[in-house]
Chain A
Amino acid sequence: MRILGLVLREIRFRRLSFALGVLSVAVAVGCLAAELAHLGRYGAARQAQIDAKIDATEAAMRRLEDDYRVITKRMGFNVQIFPRGQSLAELHAAGHGTVFMPEERAETLARSRAVSVQHILPVLQQKTAWPERERTVILIGTRAEIPRGEGAAKQPVLDPVPAGAAVLGWCLHRDFGIARGDRIAFRGREFTVAACHEERGTADDISLWVNLAEAQEMLGLPGKISAILALSCQCEGAAIEGIRAEIAAILPDTQVIEYAFQAEARREARTRAARARSDAVGGEESFAEESRRTWEEFAAALVPVVAAACFVWIGVLALLNVRERRSEIGILRALGLHARDILAIFLARAGLVGAAGALLGYAGGIAALRAASPDGVPFFSAGIFAAAMLGAPALAMVVSWLPALMAARQDPAAVLREE
């Protein structure tokens, strides 16, 4: 028979005392395990809700951002690329380009890896007479936007004008009573009116759009264009200096002009949308953090109180055990056991109380939680279980240390003489 055998026999003999100790530890561990498991689950569930909300917010904000992008896209092209020899003074005085460049320039730009501009559209624009109506108009020849790379085709900023069709600005169709579907003659050619624009308050109101090839023929400028229109994303890093530098590398004989109003509106819209998304997501994350901190503070306050109460009780039980076993301690010392053996007897008992209590308490706490939450989600945590199985015996031994020391220091002669 060894010391541990003695301890086990004593436990069997004083079952009630041992059971009370185990129960006390079990209550403490059970409460803590259940609390921690519940907090963990609550936290995870809460985090999932918050994550979902953040995802939804991000999606909504992305949609808003996209909406802004679409809206500002409707404002039209915000970048124009002219031949390098185009005088800006002449450009603004005439209202259109006066120097021309090959149409292939637009193809070259579209095939390039330029990232700062999209929706590339070659145009030929010229103020010219409409002899059949004795009116001066701005003739604009356009074609379909040139697709870039192999990505999905984008919705064009400007719909192409098919051959044989014409689109009229507001003043033109109003003044001549022309409607969509009418046939008109322009510089000796017949066109079908494909669309009549609403009033825009710009030079567009006196403009007439036809297919680029037909415009080139009518103006005697085959294969020429006066400008390439493009849409800058106005993303971060897409300032006009960057655009110019990038396009200059691809089309060195051109110059780039930015339509300040459209560009600024688009830039502002996108910046605000991005900021709104950031603020909304940040708000959710702050709320999540605050919520988690509140629960952690609650647990941090509750856990020590429960643990302290239960382990003080363990200490009291250990003290009672020592008092009850005075005679036994006396005779064991008389039989030659050292003080350290007596200490070991009581600490081993405390350790067993802690281990049994931890096992029972953890199982009980988790079972209770499982019964209360029929969703079948597991509560078991190896980390918490290991902490309970190590921590509870250690704590039980710590609080039993003083009573065990009292037992070890007990004078055997005093006990034997009293008896």
Chain B
Amino acid sequence: MLAAIEVVKRYAGPAGQVTALAGASLTIEAGELVIVRGPSGSGKTTLLLACGGLLAPDAGRVLVDGQDLYRMTPNERAAFRARTIGVIFQQYHLVPYLTVRENIMAAALAVPDARAGDRARELAARFGLGDREGHVPAALSTGERQRAALARAFLNRPRILLADEPTGNLDAGNAETVLSALGEFARGGGAVLLVTHDPRAAPYGARTVAMEAGSIGTPA
């Protein structure tokens, strides 16, 4: 379903060019949750952003259902991403002036859907935010914020979920909720790329790959 093929990405740094991805390749099939581990600076987040159509690689290809993301125009890619890919970040990236429900519905800005409101309510209830729907992020706990971000990622019924350290700031209970949701998504036929150091994620992953210096290594 998702294939990163020989992806290369370099950044211009103060000390010259830095290679974040050095020909990384990774394939995730439908129903599979793949955990990517690796030290800081190994290129995990860069790989995730490249797979999400958010960061064009210098070389290599990213295919979703056989379609090369970076052969699309920026607008086509944005629309495709909105319909197909959900993203979750360690810092939640909730819009500070929107309530929980509105933040969940923000995903529908790019994919207008008359039933988005109902779905947002369902997702809020599913992730234990039913009584927090009218609160803004500043009034939420870290766990609630991440659950709101998770609900937002689910709103458009994506087929791929990309999660970057989603449990990094969470307690055991909230981490369990997030990881369970990702696992359930995969079991439902979705593909999940989970970048994490969290050992609590291991039971949910079909496989784990290690990243080192921009390359995918042998399974840890």
Contact = CB atoms under 8 A, between A and B. Distances in A.
Interface in A311-353: 327-328, 330-339, 341
Contacts of A330: 93
Contact of A1 (B74, B81, B87, B105): B105
A154 interface: no
Nearest to A324: B96
A328 B96 contact: yes
Interface string A1-26: 11100100110111000000000000
Interface string B68-84: 00000011001101110
B54 A416 contact: yes
A200 interface: no
B106 interface: yes
Contacts of A341: 109-110
B12 to A, nearest CB: 12
Interface residues of B, number: 31
Given A1-B106, A1-B109, A334-B87, A416 B49 contact: yes
A334 B45 CA distance: 14
A9 B74 contact: no
Interface in B86-107: 87, 89, 91, 93-98, 102, 105-107
Interface string B139-154: 0000000000000100
B214 interface: no
B78 A337 contact: yes
Contacts of A339: 74-75
A13 B54 CA distance: 28
A12 B152 CA distance: 22
Interface residues of A, number: 27
A412 interface: yes
Nearest to A3: B109
B97 A334 contact: no
A417 interface: yes
Contacts of B78: 333, 336-338
B116 to A, nearest CB: 8
B55 interface: yes
A328 to B, nearest CB: 5
A419 B169 CA distance: 13
B111 interface: yes
B109 to A, nearest CB: 6
B107 to A, nearest CB: 5
B110 A336 contact: yes
Contacts of B106: 1, 6, 332, 335
A335 B85 CA distance: 9
Interface in A237-268: none
Nearest to B117: A1
B105 A335 contact: no
Contacts of A153: none
A169 B3 CA distance: 135
Contact of A336 (B46, B81, B97): B81
B96 A13 contact: yes
A308 to B, nearest CB: 31
A144 B34 CA distance: 130
A59 interface: no
Contacts of B79: 336, 338
A336 B83 contact: yes
A416 B97 contact: no
Interface string A199-238: 0000000000000000000000000000000000000000
Contact of B54 (A6, A12, A334): A334
B38 interface: no
Contacts of B82: 335-337
Interface in A106-121: none
B102 A1 contact: yes
Given A3-B109, A332-B106, A341-B109, A416 B93 contact: yes
B93 A419 contact: yes
A392 B67 CA distance: 46
A332 B91 contact: no
Nearest to B55: A413
B52 interface: yes
Nearest to B106: A335
Contact of A417 (B46, B74, B83): B46
Nearest to B56: A413
Given A332-B95, A335-B152, A417-B46, 6 more contacts: A13-B97, A332-B109, A337-B78, A337-B110, A338-B75, A416-B93
10 contacts: A1-B105, A9-B97, A13-B97, A331-B89, A332-B95, A335-B106, A336-B109, A337-B110, A341-B110, A413-B55
Interface of A: 1-3, 6, 9-10, 12-14, 327-328, 330-339, 341, 412-413, 416-417, 419
